Amino acid sequence: MPPHPLGEAPGAPPRARLLPRLLPRLLAVLAVILGTALAGPAPEARAAVTLTRVSDFGSNPGALAMYVYRPAALPDHPPVVVALHGCTQGAQVYADNSGLPQLADRDGFLLVLAETGTANNASKCFNWFQTGDNRRGQGEALSVRQMVSRAVSAYGADPQRVYVTGLSAGGAMTAVMLATYPDVFAAGAVVAGLPYDCTKDTSPYTCMNPGVDRSPADWAQRARDAYPSYTGAWPRAAIWYGDQDTTVVPRNATELRDQWTALHGLSQTPTRTTTIGPNATRQDQYLAADGTVAVEVDRVPGIGHGTPVDPGTGGEQCGSTGAPYFLDSICSSRWIARFFGLDTTTPGDPGPGDPDPGGGGTAACWTASNYAHVQAGRATTSGGYTYAKGSGQNMGLYNTFVTHTLKESPTGYFSLADTGCP
C-alpha cells in the first residue's frame, strides 16, 4: 500500500490524532523544500500596484482572499488572467514583481490575484497536494473558480477568455485549475510547478525532487479523472522552468509536458523548437491540427526556482527582482500573455510570442466579415463570439456585420491586423 500523501503509514494511529502533531512539522519541511527558508532577511518590494480586495465572491470554501487589478482603460468584455503566488508570497508581492499589472494596462485584461494565508498553510503555499483543495467543487480549487465567476459578473469579463498562471505552489495549483475546471480556463501557464495529481500515491516531497516518471497516458488519465464527465476541448498549457531548479526539479516540466500533450492527443516530440528572449530560452511548441500551439515548454537557462523577469523599460522587459523568487532572466509574463493571445504587439512587427519569431515568410492578409472568416477556416466561433485561429484573439460577435482584417503568418496562424497589414 503506497504511503499517504501527507505521510500516514499503514497501521498508523487514526489520522485525527496524528495530524495535530505531525502537520506543523510536515508544513515546515515542505516550506524548506519549496525554498522558503531564506538565508537572510528578504529584500522589501515597494508596493507600487494598487489592488482592490473583493470579499463577496461566493462561499469560498478554501478560505482564500481575492484581489483585483483593473486597468484604467479596461475594454468591454475583457479577458481575465488569474495569478497564483508562490510560498511565503502574497497577492501584493506577486503584483509588484511579476510584471502582470503592466501587461494588463497594455493588453487590456482584468487581473485577478488569489491569496492564501498561514491559516491554510504555515508557509502560505496553495495546498496543491491536498485532496480537500485540489478536487473540483471543493476547497481552494472551488474558491478560485468562484473568483472567476465574480470577475465575469462584476466586471463584465469574457467567460470564453479566462486564463490562469502561477509560481511554484501556485504553479502546481495552476495545473489543478486546468485539470479540475477545463470548462472554465482556456489556457494556463505553469511556472516551476508540477503535474496534476502527482500526490495521488506519492508524497509531495518526492514529486518535487527527484520527481516522478509516469507514462503520458497515466498522467492524462489523472487529469481526466478530475472531471470524468467532461467531453470538451482541453485548455492549452505553457510550462516554464529554470534548468537549474533543485526545488521543483526539471523532470516535472517533462512530466507536465507528457500530461498535457497526451490530453491533446499529441506526440511528445515538439513540432518546432526555437530560442527566445535575451538569454536564449529554449521554446518547444506542440501544435494541434488547426495550427494552434496546444502545449509549450520554455526552458530558461541558468536560473533556479522562481518567476523569470527582466527588469527595465524596454518593450520586451517586465517585472522586478525586489522580492525573493523573481529571477533576472527573461520577461516570462509577456511571453505568457502572448501564449494566451493577449499580447497587443503591433501586427506586422514580430514580437516575442510570435509563432515564428524572426521570420518565416511573407504575411497574407484577409479582410472580411466574422462570418466569412469562420466559413473560410481563418477563425472559430464559440458562445456567439468569433476567435482568430492560432492567436485566439476575440474578434467580436459572430455575424456578417462585424469586419476585421486578419494577418496569416506563419501558415495557419491568424492575428488581428486592423491597423495595418502586413
Q: Which residues are catalytic?
A: 168
CB 290 within 8 A of CB 412: yes
| Radius of gyration of the CA atoms of the chain, in A | 21
CB 244 within 8 A of CB 302: yes
> What is the spatial distance between Cα 124 and Cα 127, in angstroms, rounded to a whole number?
9
> What is the spatial distance between Cα 339 and Cα 354, in angstroms, rounded to a whole number?
9
Q: Is 419 exposed, middle or buried (0-12, 13-18, 19+ CB in 10 A)?
A: exposed
Identify the three-state secondary structure at position 367: strand
- Give the strand order in the sheet containing 385-388: 379-382, 385-388, 394-397
DSSP string, 226-247: TSTT--SPPPEEEEEEETT-SS
Query: Which residues, 6 or more positions from 375, have their beta carbon under 8 angstroms from its beta carbon?
Result: none
Spell 378-398 as b/e; 16+ CB within 10 A means b. bbbbeeebbbbbbbbbbbeeb
